[in-house]
Amino acid sequence: MKKAISILLALCMVLSLCSFALADEGKTVGIAMPTKSLERWNRDGEYLQKQFEEAGYEAKLVYSDNDIEQQNNDIANLIADGVDLLIISAIDGESLTQTLADAKDAGIPVIAYDRLIMNTDAISYYVSFDNYTVGVLQGQFVIDTLGLDLEDTSTTYNIEFTAGDPADNNAGFFFGGAMDTLKPYIDAGILNVPSGKTEFEQVATPAWSTDTALENMQNTLASYYSDGTVLDVALCSNDSTALGVAQAIGSDYAGDNQPLVTGQDGDIANLQNIVDGKQTMTVYKNVSDEAGATLALGKAILAGETPAEDLLDSLGAEASYDTESYDNGTGIIPSYLLVPYVITADNLQMLVDTGLYQWDADNHYLESTAETT
Ligand code: BGC
């Protein structure tokens, strides 16, 4: 009798677990990405949708054409559709407050994906890379490649900065990491900035636009380098801006050296520029891993858990749990931060090893294995 009861109990437990799992898997996730016009978000959207669908969820994916009003409307529609979880990469981190208040009222948890969303208490978690470290890696790359030494001021170099979109909370972290790393060398007179533009506001690039970065660099070259001044480094926060800067150097720079050009993301056009010597490095962020970490977090939230540091083991990628760095104006947002790394012409094979890129037919350039890029 006792045995029969325990078998019955075990059966009940299995059944209730199964129905719980099924209920979870039948849930719908709303994914809001900023734009298809910047390469990486095509990959992010594809990986997120695919990974959530493969885990048994319905996944509704929207892109908002870098238009703030459209993103508010798109998210409002996802809320009206009754999604169970929102994953949002904001176009403007400051502009979603009212819409996300509605999400909170509807009891929909929100994960800020890659970009922190400001001034709203509706955000449960933030998943991103260590954004400050991205900038540090770029700055350190310049120091290592030029062999800079604070004790040796005999050789000096010229550098110009191009930063990201002021509406994107990440942009300040990237610039800050690079500037903090290079500032001692600027202060020592080893690195000079002929344009004098060392503040974020002076070098920011709205919407991370390639065309704006191109134009700004053309202006800088015309104003400060047309007399033969040598440009040694163009520190660019990401690949979309690096693309414009490399183009400006190709067309408007009079010197015969190839300046170091930094970037971030591993966009296909930039990887080509790296092979062709027009860009020197990119800080690579594996967005398939970022999607995977978001899935692990989303699953836990939808299962009614309150994940913390313990989730790190289930993320499927190296990451840290940070409860200090990201205050969105309403308090600290617990963050899972993945690890970025440096890619140059010498280690492109590392990207192929992720399975997310492949060599082209001539074994010369890389192609993405994602369907949308
Ligand atoms: C992302 C970068 C990206 C930039 C422009 C940032 O928020 O973190 O990876 O290059 O947006 O798309």
The domain spanning residue 148 has which CATH number? 3.40.50.2300
Shared-domain flag, residues 69 and 35: yes
- Nearest ligand 1 atom to alpha carbon 34: 12
Residue nearest to atom 9 of ligand 1 (CA): 265
Shared-domain flag, residues 45 and 117: yes
Q: Check if the beta carbon of residue 234 is closer than 8 Å to that of residue 217.
A: yes
In a domain, 18, yes or no: yes
pLDDT of amino acid 26: 86
Shared-domain flag, residues 236 and 160: yes
Q: How far apart are CA 218 and CA 248, in angstroms?
A: 5
In a domain, 160, yes or no: yes
How much distance in Å is there from the Cα of 26 to the middle of ligand 1? 31
In a domain, 354, yes or no: no
- Say how many domains are in the chain: 2
Around Cβ 204, how many Cβ atoms within 10 Å?
A: 23
The predicted model scores a pTM of 0.93
Residue nearest to atom 12 of ligand 1 (CA): 38
How much distance in Å is there from the Cα of 24 to the middle of ligand 1? 31
Reading the block at residue 33, the tokens are 């990405």
Q: Name the residue type at position 146.
A: L
In a domain, 362, yes or no: no
User: End of a domain among 232, 264, 296?
Assistant: 264
Q: Are strands 319-322 and 281-284 parallel, antiparallel or unpaired?
A: unpaired
In a domain, 318, yes or no: yes
In a domain, 190, yes or no: yes
Q: pLDDT tens per residue, the chain (373 residues)? A: 455 445 444 444 444 444 444 446 689 999 999 999 999 999 999 999 999 999 999 999 999 999 999 999 999 999 999 999 999 999 999 999 999 999 999 999 999 999 999 999 999 999 999 999 999 999 999 999 999 999 999 999 999 999 999 999 999 999 999 999 999 999 999 999 999 999 999 999 999 999 999 999 999 999 999 999 999 999 999 999 999 999 999 999 999 999 999 999 999 999 999 999 999 999 999 999 999 999 999 999 999 999 999 999 999 999 999 999 999 999 999 999 999 999 999 999 999 999 999 999 999 999 999 887 7
Out of 66, 133, 237, 265, mutate this one to test ligand 1's pocket (max ligand atoms within 8 Å of CB): namely: 265
Shared-domain flag, residues 296 and 188: no
Shared-domain flag, residues 48 and 97: yes
Shared-domain flag, residues 256 and 237: yes
Ligand 1 pocket residue status of 38, Cβ below 6 Å:
yes
Shared-domain flag, residues 33 and 113: yes
Shared-domain flag, residues 45 and 118: yes
How much distance in Å is there from the Cα of 238 to the middle of ligand 1? 7
How much distance in Å is there from the Cα of 337 to the middle of ligand 1? 14
Phi then psi for residue 284, to 5 deg, are -90, 135
Ligand 1 pocket residue status of 170, Cβ below 6 Å:
yes
In a domain, 371, yes or no: no
Owning domain of residue 125:
2-129+286-338
| SS3 letters across the chain | CHHHHHHHHHHHHHHHHHHHHHHHHCCEEEEEECCCCCHHHHHHHHHHHHHHHHCCCEEEEEECCCCHHHHHHHHHHHHHCCCCEEEECCCCCCCCHHHHHHHHHCCCCEEEECCCCCCCCCEEEEEEECHHHHHHHHHHHHHHHHCCCCCCCCCCEEEEEECCCCCCHHHHHHHHHHHHHHHHHHHCCCEECCCCCCCHHHHCCHHHCHHHHHHHHHHHHHHHCCCCCCCCEEEECCHHHHHHHHHHHHHHCCCCCCCEECCECCCHHHHHHHHHCCCCEEEECCHHHHHHHHHHHHHHHHCCCCCCHHHHHHCCCCEEEECCCCECCCCECCEEEECCEEEEHHHCHHHHHCCCEEECCCCCCEEECCCCC
In a domain, 273, yes or no: no
Shared-domain flag, residues 250 and 307: no
Shared-domain flag, residues 123 and 136: no
Ligand 1 pocket residue status of 208, Cβ below 6 Å:
yes
Shared-domain flag, residues 114 and 158: no
Ligand 1 pocket residue status of 43, Cβ below 6 Å:
no
pLDDT of amino acid 239: 98
Shared-domain flag, residues 252 and 329: no
Residue nearest to atom 6 of ligand 1 (CA): 170
- Nearest ligand 1 atom to alpha carbon 40: 12
